[in-house]
Amino acid sequence: MIRPPPVIGHRGAAGLAPENTLASFRQAAALGAGMVEFDARLSADGVPLVFHDDGLARTTNGVGEVAEMSWAELARLDAGAWFGADFAGEAIPRLDRVLTLCLELGLAVNMEIKPDAGREAETARVCLEAVRGAWPAEAEPPLISSFARSCLEVARDLAPAWPRGMLVETVPPDWRAEAGRLGCEAIHAEHDGLESELVAEITASGLLVMAYTVNDKQRQQDLWEMGVTAVFTDFPYSS
């Protein structure tokens, strides 16, 4: 059974540094976080990288869709200046670079697989292969999550020993059957939809509940008291 720390840095430390950049993971570690979440996806030419949105406009100086650009094109973009002048020059990182940095920093990892429509199996396979190439067998394996059930099926089949989290916005009525089928150890749910009875029912079944994205300290406390194991926050700290 996985034992994540109570506080997980969301996209690194997305409230304090440009999300999903090396600066963001360094910031999370500097704040004492024990674990970070990030979003893994593919470039047009199949390079696994760390980036949240489908489109480039919000968090880079580029335009268009990540899935339509080659890694060579994406690597030239600035993914830091939008957040603040101090971060100008931060790049979109490759997945293997994020993994090695997290290892260097001693950060446990939750890799969320974010596939483009129609590339679910490829995205999962390539991202899992990147983890296999970068992550020492003796280290605590990354927690793999996705909103895409087909990605979790690939993870279950290719890396059965790596723990999985079923990512949902609202906990669906068939959570028990689906988590069982996918061999998940946790349900990662949007925190607004969580209340005591539901959390108690899920945890009584042997699954963990992890809640995103929780930046309010009082709400974090309330969720832990409800039985939620971990909260994803943009402002991580030592816990």
Site residues (CB under 6 A) for ligand G3P, limited to 168-207: 188
Nearer to Mg ion, 9 or 62 (CB): 9
Nearer to ligand G3P, 73 or 156 (CB): 156
Residue of 2, 9, 10, 13 with catalytic role: 10
Is 167 a binder of ligand G3P (CB under 6 A)? yes
Residue 234 interacts with which of Mg ion, ligand G3P, none, CB < 5 to 8 Å by class: none
Is 120 a binder of ligand G3P (CB under 6 A)? no
Residue of 5, 15, 44, 52 with catalytic role: 52
Q: Known catalytic residue: 191? A: no
Is 20 a binder of ligand G3P (CB under 6 A)? no
Got the DSSP string for the chain? -----SEEEETTTTTTS-TTSHHHHHHHHHTT-SEEEEEEEE-TT--EEE---SBSTTTSS--SBGGGS-HHHHHTS-SSTTT-GGGTT--PPBHHHHHHHHHHHT-EEEEEE-PPTT-HHHHHHHHHHHHHHHS-TTSPPPEEEES-HHHHHHHHHH-TTS-EEEEESSPPTTHHHHHHHHT-SEEEEEGGG--HHHHHHHHHTT-EEEEE----HHHHHHHHHHT--EEEESS----
Is 125 a binder of ligand G3P (CB under 6 A)? no
Give the shortest CB-72-to-ligand G3P separation in angstroms.
26
Is 234 a binder of ligand G3P (CB under 6 A)? no
- Six-digit token string for 12: 């690194």
Binding residues for ligand G3P, total number by CB under 6 A: 11
| Contact in structure between 136 and 157 (CB atoms under 8 Å) | no
Give the shortest CB-230-to-ligand G3P separation in angstroms.
10
Sign of the dihedral through C-alpha 212, 125, 107, 229: positive
Site string for Mg ion, 19-48 (x = CB under 5 A): --------------------x---------
Nearer to ligand G3P, 45 or 169 (CB): 169
Binding residues for Mg ion, total number by CB under 5 A: 2
Give the shortest CB-110-to-ligand G3P separation in angstroms.
7
CA distances from 183 to 30, 39, 132, 145 (A): 34, 21, 19, 12
Q: Given the rule CB under 5 A, which residues bind Mg ion?
A: 39, 112
Residues forming the active site: 10, 52
* Residues near ligand G3P (CB under 6 A): 10, 37, 39, 52, 112, 145, 167, 188, 212-213, 232
